[in-house]
Structure 1
């Protein structure tokens, strides 16, 4: 879609705002993540991941924040980062952009990820086992334009259930940029409906966030594969034979309860590119990738 392609082009500008002030060094492993949450939380989480990997791998590891999902893919393609925590779709895009790159790990929960559809309580909508009805003409917001859980899968289900594009179902379709903002927009009534990563909503419930009082879950999608650690295919040439496998082993061995809880995940399990073939097929069907 044109919006997605424009967003990817614009990412070069966004990325420059997040690039490190110092020059990159060849012996440093640079890691990043899609900006699916508050920037402060992401910096804290992945700064700890970088420190953990540096100790396990014996090389400097640095976290590089980016400003958008598209910027994370651009940074990976341009070799500004070599390892990234991607969503299902952004991981597919990154691996297509850098041949030989591979998914090496996913959260234990990521094999069966779901999206929550939420509604402002003023709509009168309540939770059901089937796709919600009575939503025509309401205001709806996705998350980021290339988010798997915040856009790709919810749009797939909207089209499958209604036979229409989102723009033909809702009176207004927005893109909040991240899952936390989706929750806030629906809770405030700026949008009546939204779709977001279930872990963000569940964490808001656990934290007692005020937004959950006026934004309630009305439907949960069927499960699909989502987040993943993806590494460039040329890291062995740079860091030594078997380096990618060592990174994978380090991620699978991550056991710090506080670090895992910050994702939140109970642990990481092996992953490979084939797991995300359904995500790629769905993205092609929706014209989100060529």
Structure 2
């Protein structure tokens, strides 16, 4: 009788220990060099682990689609997505929710930059005539700031597809690489995340000497923290809200500067409807 009573109690204890031992895995789109990403998100992992009292691990991925796949397949339960990759991940994962964005992400912009040898000067009007016949590189193929929005505005301002306007079109893979390639002259013009370029300016990066910002897009919603819908089942009632509160309360200047963001504010799936509509218009999602 004593043994029969102890078995259920022991099982409950073991199950409770297993639940407490679960690890929250998160990832991020590889929009910059992997070294920079690991440094940034290792600090985030340490912060979240302390705030939430659970083990937290950052899982680096090699591409934007890989980040979406990892989220859909439950290899990660939290992710820092761009606008488009976040839409893709939430469409593929019922119950997933955008919970926060950077203070700057509600009105994000893309910079069009040119190698100084092109002679193109900055201006408020899209420089269609100056760009015709040059070479052009996007960032990653599913990047919001590096592909989706710049392609939308190229078509909007010129009535042409990028392949028709430019002599040659490519994809660098990430924003840092776009800057390097345009600076080196490998590509005449490129489009990239404004925050990456502004950070390079602040750091005095050598690429700034041979590049010029020639135009910037109108603002649009971009990066976001997105969670799977089953976190409370996995980590306990209220965990999703605790995680949201922890992200919104992230105020360490060193962590924020690495994004770079001045802070985080609440977000919802509805905030990214314009991104979904644009992606559908360009046949980037079905």
Structure 1 residue 26 displacement after superposition: 7.3
Q: 1:43 aligned to 2:31?
A: no
TM-score normalized with structure 1 length: 0.91
**Deviation string, structure 1 residues 188-217 (Cα, Å, up to 9, x no partner):** 111000000000000000111111111110
Structure 1 residue 63 displacement after superposition: 0.3
Query: Counterpart of 2:26 in 1: which secondary structure?
Result: strand
Q: Which runs of 5+ in 1 are unaligned?
A: 1-24
Structure 1 residue 240 displacement after superposition: 1.1
Query: Counterpart of 2:220 in 1: which secondary structure?
Result: coil
Matches for 1:113-124 after TM superposition, within 5 Å: 113-124=108-119
Match of 1:263 among 247, 259, 262: 259
Q: Any conservation in 1 of the 2:136–2:189 contact (CA below 8 Å)?
A: yes
Q: Which runs of 5+ in 2 are unaligned?
A: 1-19
Matches for 1:61-80 after TM superposition, within 5 Å: 61-80=56-75
**Deviation string, structure 1 residues 196-239 (Cα, Å, up to 9, x no partner):** 00000000001111111111100010000000000001111111
Query: Counterpart of 2:131 in 1: which secondary structure?
Result: coil
Matches for 1:1-290 after TM superposition, within 5 Å: 27-133=22-128, 134-290=130-286
Structure 1 ranges of 4+ moved more than 6 A = none
TM-score normalized with structure 2 length: 0.92
Distance, in Å, in 2 between the alignment partners of 1:269 and 1:223 is: 17
Count of matched residue pairs:
266
- RMSD of Structure 2 on Structure 1 (CA): 1.0
Distance, in Å, in 1 between the alignment partners of 2:229 and 2:160 is: 39
Largest Rg, 1 or 2 = 2
Distance, in Å, in 1 between the alignment partners of 2:115 and 2:190 is: 9
Structure 1 residue 121 displacement after superposition: 0.7
Partner of 1:13: none
